[in-house]
Structure 1
């Protein structure tokens, strides 16, 4: 597992360095292939307007989980970097415990099991009870990169502010991304 100081760095660097690191929840997981970085001074961050009951984990120590509901439907998980900064885990390669992932997600194409933060949390069994848990203790375990990955950066997905910032990091060539690197779905204007 990356040690505690790994997470006590700039969110962009942590997001980039998590690509290729394996994450497991109760032994189910795989290599991280897509992340997004958020800082407290970033208008797209949940922490931009300061601490609330919902985002309290982001203002706690680094190396903890920040788990929240997105649009009231899907659980999503960030790893905290301290001081209101964190990294959204967007996608992993489903490597270990694929049968458990399929059972949680239903019979879907393996490419879609963990492609997107909501799908990923459902496949790994992550929900609100994980909010605030330390990443260096069960149910979490991490594995180090097996090789130095080729990483592509670009704009984040699903936000309406600070869209120009290249704070999404993807493993080049991965078929398990939530959306192809560089792809962006147009947002409707209000």
Structure 2
């Protein structure tokens, strides 16, 4: 009995065509040895653990400071919205926690500061407030992804991770239109 050759589905072919170039690009990326890249991990620390070396690159400090300011404003928006709409506290708790951890991670780099901003206005309804937070998250994600493309190494990974988290938060905060129509 002859064995028929295995046929590849169109879906598998399209997925492979989309993923292979990205994987090849990522496989070709590598960081410079530690110590030569600003913000790189220094594996030869005195206590044996890898630690972040302070960066002296003004572009990295500026990008991370801008991100820290945006994250601070988002965190403030979450806090104000939680106070105005106590019913949303549980839904907003995860986002507030993520923003706090992102801010702490951004401030680990020497020279990074977050500028203080004014308290944001909150919409009149909880649904409008969630929509406004989702829009702010999307805008911050776009800004952080663009900033990640301009730096390299650990700062780029950090900004990309924050952008991904903000994109996910924006998606989860967007009110379900089907539920609102009911």
What TM-score, normalized to structure 2? 0.22
What TM-score, normalized to structure 1? 0.22
Higher helix share: 2
Higher strand share: 1
Work out which structure has the larger RCO, using CA pairs closer than 8 Å and 6 or more positions apart in sequence. 1
